[in-house]
Structure formats: structure tokens, C-alpha cells
């Protein structure tokens, strides 16, 4: 996810990537448009789902920065996976709980055909971070209680692959992984009818291919830092490059080809060119805050939207509020993510670390 690693600090590696943190937040807010209907916003951000590929590349870059040397000798694969789960699970659990409570509400009041008898196995599988088969959920979605979670499991698979290969990840092996996963993306994405594929049971392999290529591309970019000393680009240019890809109005016949190009070249190129961008003062504070809430915004926004629409429907306000759904979800998701970062995440992580030692 992807999406979750703190790129501003690490005890053993104090270098800061504040601008990349900010871009991660910008990308997280863009993803909301993929799940909250808004014709205007979707027209403005037609490539919003490509933000996930940016997350994958950034994840590989940051993990190589934080753990690259230690994975060669100190940290075993399963230990690394536990570290990643401790980082991801608290907000993942919160999103699943919000989605589960919403499903119960819909079922109790007759708004959903999903039987409550299906709830227990669905919740049990989700709590174990496992996809839910369609014969249980009645839908083809990997994580019906919180659909955006698909990218988290794809990223965990790529992270585990990195941990397993790390002691032997020579340049030759790294290039081989990039070629194989890149060819998979190049073959699968242009032929897939669903934009942003990877969230359905039928296209889970596409999500894994996107994650594998993105994570290992990020690793390659970080390793290349010793050979390429990239200059510090202005913050406006860094934001502009990401916005240009997400907002590029590509004609429909060429959309999937552009998606593959973005996965394979454009998103890695952004990380490569802006990795040394610097920010200070108020801009740095904004970028740091965006990075702080980015994972929470990503993993909580859809269940928050579910609940918001149900509340509006209950109050008889569904139609008049249609035009402001997107900005409301942006605000509520940012607030929920910030509150979780202040009062929930760290205690939950401490509990999980203690639980893992028992």
C-alpha cells in the first residue's frame, strides 16, 4: 500500500523524503475519486487508479532505504513479514470493522441480500487478511468489507518476495524480476477491460503483477542512488509530474496502453526524478501531514463513504447531497486518518508486537 511506509524517518537511516511523503498523500486523496461517484472529479482525474502503482514503487524505494542492508543478513523473511503486518494491520482492521458494521446494518434493516450467516466466515477470513471467496460473499470482490484492501495483500506478497530474495538480489536477479513482472504487466493491463484491475477475484493476478513490478522498480531506483546523484527539483514540479499522469486525458482506445506505460515507466520515473526534492517551512509541514494521513485516507475512505450514504439515506438527504459526496469523504477520511494516527495506531502496534512475542 503500498501505501503505508513512513518515508520521513527511520532510526538507522535518518535521511528524509518529505516531498515523497507529500506525493503519497496527494495520490491517496486521488484514489477516493475511484470509489466515490463524482462525474466532475473523475473527468478531472481520469487516471486516479494509477495512484496505486505510485504507491507500489514508493513502497519498494522506502523499504530498500529502511531495510535493504538488514534484509541481507539480520532479518529473516517471516520476521520482516511480521514487521509489515504490524505496520499495516491496525488501520486495515479499523477499515474492516467499519465495513463489517455497515454490512450488519444493511442486513438487519433489509437493505442487503447478504445473509448474516455469511457474515461470520466473511469476517473471519478478512480478519486473517485473506480474500473472501465469492460463494461466501456473493460478489467477486477480494475484500467485500473494504475493497481497497486488495492492494495491501498484493503489496505484502511483493514485500515477502523481496525479503526472500534480498540475500541474493544481485543486479542480474533484480533485472530478471523486473523483466518477468514487467512483461506480465505489459501483457495483462492493456487487455484488461477493468481499469485499475486487481481488486476482483478474477484479476488478482494483475494486482500481484503490478505490485511485483512496482516494488522491485522502487528497489532498483533506490539502489541506483549511488550511481545517479539526482538534483533537487522544485516541489511544484514534483506535484505537477504526478498530477500530469493522474489527470492526463487519454482517449478511450489508448487508455489501457497508457495505463501500462504509467505502470512500467511513468510512475517509476517520478520517484527517480523527484527522490531528492526538498521542502522546508510550511510546505514541509503540509507534506509531512499528507504523508501521515495518507495510509489512513486510503484504507478508511470507502467504509466511511458507505456509512455516509447510509446516514444520508436514513435522513432522507441522499439526493441533495450527491454533488458534495467527494469533498465530504475527503474531509471525513482525512479527519479519521489523523485521529487514528494520534490515538489508535501506536497503541495497537504495541499490542501486536507484544502479542507476536507471546
Range(s) of the domain holding residue 221: 18-353
Q: Judge whether 335 and 314 are in contact, CB under 8 Å.
A: no
Q: Is residue 7 part of a domain?
A: no
Give the sign of the dihedral formed by CA 349, CA 12, CA 5, CA 71: negative
Say what percent of the chain tops pLDDT 90: 74
| Residue 88 confidence (pLDDT) above 50 | yes
Looking at the structure of the chain, the number of domains it has is 1
Nearest alpha-carbon partner for 53 in 30, 71, 35: 30
- Write out the three cell numbers for 126: 478478512
Q: Is 232 within a domain?
A: yes
Average pLDDT, the chain: 90
Please determine, for residue 66, whether its predicted confidence score (pLDDT) is greater than 50: yes
Distance (Å, whole) CA 218 – CA 348: 29
Residue 128 pLDDT more than 70?
A: yes
Indicate the range of 33-37, 148-152, 190-194, 290-294 predicted with least confidence: 190-194
Supply the pLDDT for residue 8.
45
More confident residue, 157 or 226: 157
DSSP 271-315: HHHHTT----HHHHHHHHHHHHHHHHHHHHHHHHHHHHHHHHHHT
Q: Is residue 210 within 8 Å of 198, Cβ to Cβ?
A: yes
Model pLDDT, residue 227: 84
The pLDDT of residue 138: 86
313 inside domain? yes
Q: Do the Cβ atoms of 72 and 167 come closer than 8 Å?
A: yes
- Output the pLDDT for position 317: 75
pLDDT at position 11 is 41
Q: What's the pLDDT score for residue 12?
A: 45
Q: Which cell numbers hold the place of 85?
A: 503486518
Question: What pLDDT is attached to residue 39?
Answer: 86
CB atoms within 10 A of CB 44: 15
pLDDT tops 80 at residue 349: yes
Q: What is the pLDDT of residue 192?
A: 79
pLDDT of residue 108: 82
Residue 111: how many other CB atoms lie within 10 Å: 13
b (16+ CB within 10 A) / e for 152-191:
bbbbbbbbebbbbbbeebeeeebeebbeebbebbbebbee
CA-to-CA distance for 269 and 116, rounded, in angstroms?
47
Tell me phi and psi for residue 142, to 5 degrees. -60, -45
Q: What is the pLDDT of residues 160-197, one digit of tens each?
A: 999 999 999 999 999 999 999 999 999 998 887 767 88
Mean pLDDT value across residues 61-75? 92
Residue 59 has pLDDT above 60, yes or no: yes
What average pLDDT score do residues 10-36 get? 84
Residue 166 lies in a domain: yes
pLDDT at 245 over 50: yes
CA dist., res. 64 & res. 127, Å (int): 28
pLDDT digits (tens, 9 = 90+) for 202-220: 999 999 999 999 999 999 9
Strand partners, 200: 141
- 9 pLDDT tier (thresholds 50, 70, 90): very low
Q: Enter the pTM of the model.
A: 0.93
Decide if 1 contacts 31 (C-beta within 8 A). no
| Beta-carbon contacts of residue 93 (< 8 Å; ≥ 6 apart) | 127, 348
pLDDT in tens, 268-304: 999 999 999 999 999 999 999 999 999 999 999 999 9
pLDDT-derived band at 321 (thresholds 50, 70, 90) equals low
Q: Is the pLDDT of residue 322 over 90?
A: no
Q: Report CA 153 to chain centroid distance, whole Å.
A: 10
Amino acid at each position: 500500500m503500498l501505501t503505508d511506509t513512513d518515508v520521513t524517518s527511520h532510526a538507522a537511516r535518518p535521511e528524509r523524503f518529505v516531498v515523497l511523503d507529500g506525493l503519497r498523500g496527494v495520490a491517496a486523496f486521488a484514489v477516493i475519486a475511484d470509489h466515490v461517484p463524482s462525474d466532475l472529479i473523475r473527468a478531472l482525474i481520469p487516471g486516479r487508479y494509477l495512484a496505486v502503482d505510485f504507491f507500489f514503487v514508493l513502497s519498494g524505494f522506502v523499504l530498500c532505504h529502511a531495510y535493504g542492508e538488514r534484509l541481507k543478513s539480520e532479518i529473516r523473511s517471516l520476521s520482516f513479514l511480521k514487521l509489515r503486518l504490524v505496520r499495516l494491520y491496525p488501520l486495515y482492521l479499523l477499515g474492516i470493522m467499519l465495513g463489517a458494521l455497515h454490512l450488519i446494518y444493511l442486513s438487519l434493516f433489509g437493505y442487503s441480500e447478504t445473509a448474516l450467516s455469511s457474515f461470520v466466515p466473511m469476517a473471519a477470513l478478512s480478519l486473517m487478511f485473506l480474500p473472501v471467496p465469492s460463494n461466501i460473499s456473493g460478489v467477486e470482490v477480494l475484500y467485500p468489507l473494504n475493497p481497497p484492501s486488495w492492494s495491501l495483500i498484493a503489496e505484502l506478497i511483493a514485500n515477502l518476495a523481496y525479503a526472500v530474495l534480498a540475500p541474493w538480489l544481485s543486479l542480474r536477479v533484480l533485472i530478471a524480476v523486473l523483466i518477468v513482472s514487467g512483461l506480465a504487466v505489459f501483457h495483462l493491463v492493456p487487455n484488461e477491460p477493468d481499469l485499475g484491475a486487481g481488486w476482483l477475484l478474477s484479476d488478482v493476478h494483475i494486482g500481484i503483477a503490478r505490485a511485483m513490478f512496482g516494488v522491485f522498480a522502487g528497489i532498483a531506483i533506490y539502489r541506483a542512488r549511488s550511481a545517479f546523484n539526482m538534483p533537487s527539483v522544485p516541489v511544484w514540479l514534483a506535484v505537477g509530474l504526478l498530477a500530469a499522469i493522474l489527470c492526463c486525458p487519454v482517449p478511450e482506445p489508448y487508455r489501457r496502453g497508457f495505463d501500462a506505460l504509467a505502470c512500467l515507466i511513468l510512475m517509476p520515473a517520478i520517484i527517480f526524478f523527484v527522490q531528492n526534492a526538498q521542502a522546508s517551512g510550511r510546505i514541509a509541514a503540509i507534506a509531512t501531514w499528507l504523508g501521515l494521513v495518507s495510509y489512513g485516507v486510503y484504507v478508511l475512505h470507502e467504509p466511511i463513504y458507505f456509512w455516509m450514504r447510509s446516514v444520508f439515506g436514513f435522513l432522507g438527504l441522499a439526493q441533495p447531497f450527491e454533488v458534495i459526496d467527494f469533498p465530504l469523504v475527503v474531509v471525513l477520511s482525512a479527519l479519521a486518518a489523523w485521529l487514528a494516527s494520534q490515538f489508535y495506531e501506536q497503541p495497537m502496534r504495541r499490542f501486536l508486537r507484544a502479542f507476536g512475542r507471546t
